[in-house]
Amino acid sequence: MRLFTHALWHRERTAKTIYLTFDDGPVPEVTPWVLEQLQNYRAQATFFMVGDNIRKHPELFARVKTAGHRLANHTFHHLDGWQTPDERYFADIAATQKLLADEGQYVLFRPPYGRLTYRQYKYLSARYRLVMWDVLSGDFDRSLTPERCLARTIRLTRPGSVVVFHDSPKTQRLLHHVLPEYLAHFSQQGYNFKAL
């Protein structure tokens, strides 16, 4: 994946700023709770949304937007680039982009599973700002205890990090423990949380 040299992996390492990202929402089970946690710390974040979830939950989409977070594209059906023909993959992203139509000066895209063929990468990086990450929280990893997930995510985070969480029912168990503790930890150390 490090071949994706035009993608964003992290930001400048100089400022005490962390870029939280939440993938796969919006969903009623988790997204409103995430918004509350962020609000408690006046944290801004970036939400890589699945178009089909925006379609199902337009009111949640609106809430995330109203709260001032950055909205970004994560395909319409959470497709795996390696398993999907290019035409279908690009059409799926474009369908999501219609829902995000007025979002910002450039358009952020993150491929589900971090998987793109090189051809897809070339095509997409000419049209979107590709965003990867330097810290995976592992909130989807069912073998992790909440304590280990938190400790690991804290240990990997540096100034300028782009951190992946998920607002998904699958990650709810770990996220409920990890996100508030993570926000508290880095706030105490004088960090800010900003949208990309």
The contact set with Zn ion (CB under 5 A) reads: 23-24, 112
Distance in Å, CB of 116 to Zn ion, minimum = 13
Considering the complex, state which of residue 38 and residue 111 has its C-beta at the smaller distance from Zn ion. Answer: 111
* Tokens found for residue 152: 């690991």
Q: Would you state the structure tokens that stand for residue 155, as one six-digit string?
A: 């240990």
User: How far lies 88's CA from each of 49, 81, 118, 164, in Å?
Assistant: 18, 10, 16, 26
Closer residue to Zn ion (CB): 35 or 111: 111
**Residue type at 94?**
A
> Helix or strand or coil: residue 97?
helix
Q: 51 or 112: whose CB is closer to Zn ion?
A: 112
CB of 3 to Zn ion, least distance (A): 20
Query: Among residues 24 and 167, whose Cβ is nearest to Zn ion?
Result: 24
Those residues whose C-beta lies under 8 Å from the C-beta of residue 121, and which sit 6 or more positions away, are 3, 4, 7, 130
Roughly how many angstroms between the first and final C-alpha of the chain, as a whole number? 20
Tell me the three state secondary structure of residue 6.
coil
Are 160 and 190 within 8 A, CB to CB? no
Closest approach of Zn ion to the CB of residue 74, in Å: 6
Is residue 49 within a helix (H) or strand (E), and if so which, with residue range? strand 46-49
Report, in Å, the least distance between residue 164 CB and Zn ion: 9
Which residue lies nearer to Zn ion by CB, 23 or 191?
23
Least distance to Zn ion, CB of residue 82, Å: 14
Q: How far is the CB of 24 from Zn ion (least distance, A)?
A: 4
Q: Which is nearer to Zn ion, 11 or 78 (CB)?
A: 78
Nearest C-alpha neighbor of 9 from the set 68, 116, 1, 38: 1
Q: Are 170 and 180 in contact (CB under 8 A)?
A: no
